[in-house]
């Protein structure tokens, strides 16, 4: 009878150990997933900011061209 008690205790200990390992892996996987998600969000934010900078530069260039054309037209009127 003592052997069966030891066997049952051993089986429970192994089961508990395996459950604890599973929980630890789940927590690590969750943290890793959160880290990767944050990295993707940051990359998207940077990409969006770069695109906005590019768009702003394009608008500035177009505005400068328009101002140059206005000056040219103004100068032509007074020639």
> pLDDT tens across 17-50, in order?
999 999 999 999 999 999 999 999 999 999 999 9
What pLDDT is recorded for position 46? 94
Three-class SS state of 45:
helix
Confidence of residue 77 (pLDDT cuts 50, 70, 90): confident
pTM: predicted TM-score of the whole model, two decimal places = 0.56
What is the dihedral sign for C-alpha 35, 41, 47, 49?
A: negative
Name all contacts of 57-61 with Cβ < 8 Å and 24+ positions apart.
none
Res. 14: pLDDT tops 90: yes
Cα 73 from chain centroid (whole Å): 49
What pLDDT is recorded for position 21? 94
Could you read off the pLDDT of 56-71 as tens digits, one per residue? Answer: 988 888 888 999 998 9
């Amino acid at each position: 009878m003592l052997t069966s008690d030891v066997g049952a205790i051993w089986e429970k200990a192994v089961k508990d150990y395996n459950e604890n390992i599973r929980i630890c892996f789940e927590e690590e996987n969750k943290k890793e997933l959160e880290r990767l998600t944050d990295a993707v969000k940051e990359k998207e934010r940077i990409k969006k900011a770069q695109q906005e900078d590019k768009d702003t530069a394009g608008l500035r260039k177009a505005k400068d061209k328009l101002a140059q054309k206005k000056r040219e037209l103004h100068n032509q009127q007074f020639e």
